[in-house]
Amino acid sequence: MSDHQNNGDSRVETFDARSPSRRRFLKSMGASGLAAATAPAWAQIAQASQQQQNAPVEPQDDGAPAEGEQQIQLTVNGVEHTLNVKPNAVLLDVLRDRLMLTGTKKGCDQGQCGACTLLVNDTAINSCLSLAVSHDGDSVTTIEGLSNGDELHPVQAAFWEHDAYQCGYCTSGQIMSAVAILNDDNIGSDDASVREAMSGNICRCGAYKNILAAVQDARGKMEGAS
């Protein structure tokens, strides 16, 4: 018995600390996850948004459009783009697939969930239902264009502070709708009016209470800054 125990102890004492093990792997993964979780997340969000806004895009379509295409001009987040598009191309697909602005999400693709909401001439629309050719000469603002460098838009900051999301897939559409609502003097400032105005944006995770709190908090900050 003592020999067996000694042999076991010997194996433990001579075990190479550098050799791989499941426990050592999980410990290293845990440390990495902790480091990532403690980073200033709001700064990461702003940096990612700015990087995506400044990401290289497909070259301008300066040549004549091909047969069946139409040339349009869009000002997206302050940048002018000349694009040749098919008549049936919706604005959502042009932004995501041509300009690589993927912050605007494709959800139901039927105008019922609000995930694709963005601003055209400061008015919120469902971009999955809107033909790109109908916006020739328009100004488009996507979620990537809201922040000012590392400074988040008040609505973005409020969504972060109030945990107004869970999976985050609907969040960009929720934020864009909230921005439009807060800039519309015809929409009341009470909770019921905000709920009604935001009813076109579905959150399948059920974060509606926090979304409402974020919108009202952003309202106060925007009014205080004006």
CATH number at residue 158: 1.10.150.120
Q: Give the containing element (helix H, strand E) for 119.
A: strand 117-120
pLDDT reported for residue 11: 44
Asked, for residue 22, whether it belongs to a domain, the answer is no
Number of neighbouring beta carbons within 10 Å of residue 179:
25
Q: Is 122 found in the same domain as 166?
A: no
pLDDT reported for residue 34: 41
Q: Is 73 found in the same domain as 110?
A: yes
Number of neighbouring beta carbons within 10 Å of residue 210:
18
Question: Of the candidates 145, 172, 187, which is a domain's last residue?
Answer: 145
Domain assignment of residue 190, given as a range = 152-225
What's the CATH code of the domain at 126? 3.10.20.30
> In the numeric block, which tokens belong to residue 156?
């973005």
Asked, for residue 213, whether it belongs to a domain, the answer is yes
Question: Of the candidates 87, 119, 145, which is a domain's last residue?
Answer: 145
Q: How many domains does the chain have?
A: 2
Asked, for residue 11, whether it belongs to a domain, the answer is no
Asked, for residue 141, whether it belongs to a domain, the answer is yes
Asked, for residue 171, whether it belongs to a domain, the answer is yes
pLDDT reported for residue 53: 54
Q: Is 156 found in the same domain as 141?
A: no
Low-confidence ranges of the chain (pLDDT < 70): 1-60, 62
Burial letters 97-131, b for 16+ CB under 10 A, else e: ebbebbbbbbbeeebebbbbbbbbeeebbbbbebb
pLDDT reported for residue 219: 98
Question: Of the candidates 145, 176, 206, which is a domain's last residue?
Answer: 145
Residues 6-29 have pLDDT tens digits of 454 444 444 444 555 655 555 555
Q: DSSP labels for 47-92?
A: HHHHHHHTS--PPP--SPPPTT-EEEEEEETTEEEEEEE-TT-BHH
Cα dist. 154→85, 111, 221 in Å? 34, 26, 7
123 contact partners, CB below 8 Å, separation of at least 6: 180
